Structure 1
């Protein structure tokens, strides 16, 4: 075999390796991007579940604490903001607003022992607590998926393909400032 033929074979093999590497990287990025979107939708589903529970909770509280309009209005506004939020940062901000409003509601409940004893209220609070746990797990799963995705698009040589193909860094679902301090609620 001639030396020029060998050179062409080596060049063709390198080009094929580069092409297959690019295809593999692209497919891997698509998989990771889709996984991030899926994890975000799980957060969305659970936030919607919580938003759906809130009107029932508010109506139960209204029966006992009708004069607590400020808190009830704050919850209604926060719920509307959550339902209207689209991006992870908008959802995180609306979620923090709703959590704060719900915390104020729980403090008010302290003043109404009959409300705490109400079976419907207790059931709704149990459902809300379960939903909060689901939201927490979904946030963790989303942030884990974002971490894997962001690392992948920044590693060489995938970073070359990722930037050429328009894959951009994803935002984490971050807690709002002050969320690390839990409100004090005594039952």
Structure 2
């Protein structure tokens, strides 16, 4: 091996190690994001990156191919086992032709498929639409079976033809998201196109879009362990590159193992500082966005509630006037009998018939109920926005206090965020007065 080749091995190991560190820090950044973000309720979803938990629901669910279970997503695969004996001719080290046989076997996919549809995630506050297209899905196993040609499943769900060298043994596997399964969803929310409501959908600018049957803690733990796995792989690549380079070229200045590990440690520390500081800055921006959510909901209450109150008051006044007119007309038509002195009832009865034809449904009770519902929902949205702010601000403040994040926060001038307290919430509530004026 030439000196150039030895250095190429060392450089290749270092490059692969840096690539592994990149993936490690990427996973660690996502794990920190999910840990710091509070889980929101479906009623309190805002436009931005959110995480939710709930059950999968669909008005018209799919029916999976193998398990025939109602679900919102499923994918299935059928594999067929094969085996063969191969005889080959080769030339040995003495230049003579030799023959040898070997046995080969494996599984070949003979059929596969799947479907997915948008669905709703339900929790104790409501539902939100989820469009799973483009998401990383972590489904559960719906069906798994291995059978031979003599069993009904072999041809009932599998193709009629067999592959070459088939052993006539097939493996059926299906995974999916059944209706009612508990899901953890992390993704970008946006406004729906058909109605005024939010939905979770793929966004290339979002850090991730995940729909998992695992819990939030399991997802975060998996990302953390995967991150450490990439770090360990990077360390092995650095050590292997230096070891091979020094073994092949003893007379060239290939760095020794201690120097290589020192450089690796320095790269890891710098990378971690870069990742941790950026995550703190991103979290600070999310805290500020959460604070703006409260102002948005207060503005919504300020604009919505007075208009609703005015509409209900107007309808109530109209209804009261209409009732008086109807009572007067009915009284007058019944008080003057034919042939007796008094106003002619025939002049008022046509008006009464016209009003009767246009008699509106008196829905004062429904209007007041709708107003109460609007008031309740608006106050709940404000409470959810405040709760979300306090949760994410608490996580942010905790990060600024723990070691080693607090040193990065001090260097970057990051300050703790005060929390909302009920006693300090001084913005006036919109008064609702439904009493008629004197």
Shorter-chain TM-score bucket reads 0.5 to 0.7
The partner residue of 1:47 within 298, 303, 307 is 298
For 2:387 and 2:293, how far apart are their aligned partners in 1? Answer: 11
Structure having the higher Rg: 2
- Show CA shifts across 1:115-137 (max 9, x none): xx576555333212110011111
Which residue among 403, 418, 421 is the counterpart of 1:174? 421
TM-score under structure 2 length normalisation = 0.25
Is the Cα contact below 8 Å between 1:162 and 1:168 reproduced in 2? yes
Correspondence for 1:152 among 396, 399, 413: 399
The equivalent of 2:234 in structure 1 is none
Between the aligned partners of 2:256 and 2:406, the Cα distance in structure 1 is 33
Measure how far apart 1:39 and its partner are.
Answer: 2.1
Q: Give the total of aligned pairs.
A: 126
1:173 and 1:32 map into 2 onto residues whose CA distance is 18
TM-score (structure 1 length as normaliser): 0.55
CA distance in 2, matches of 1:23, 1:178: 37
Cα deviation for residue 162 of structure 1 reads 0.9
Q: Establish whether residue 35 from structure 1 lines up as the match of residue 286 from structure 2.
A: yes
Provide the C-alpha distance between the structure 1 equivalents of 2:419 and 2:263, rounded to a whole number of angstroms.
42
Structure 1 runs not aligned, ≥5 long = 65-116, 180-187
Question: Structure 2: which 5+ residue stretches go unaligned?
Answer: 1-245, 247-252, 317-363, 427-438
**Structure 1 or 2: more strand by fraction:** 2
More helix by share: 1
Is the 1:40–1:142 contact (alpha carbons within 8 Å) kept by the matching residues of 2? yes
Can you list the C-alpha shifts for 1:73-111, whole angstroms capped at 9, x where unaligned?
xxxxxxxxxxxxxxxxxxxxxxxxxxxxxxxxxxxxxxx
Compared with structure 1, are the counterparts of its residues 177 and 20 closer, same or farther at alpha carbon in structure 2 (3 Å cutoff)? closer
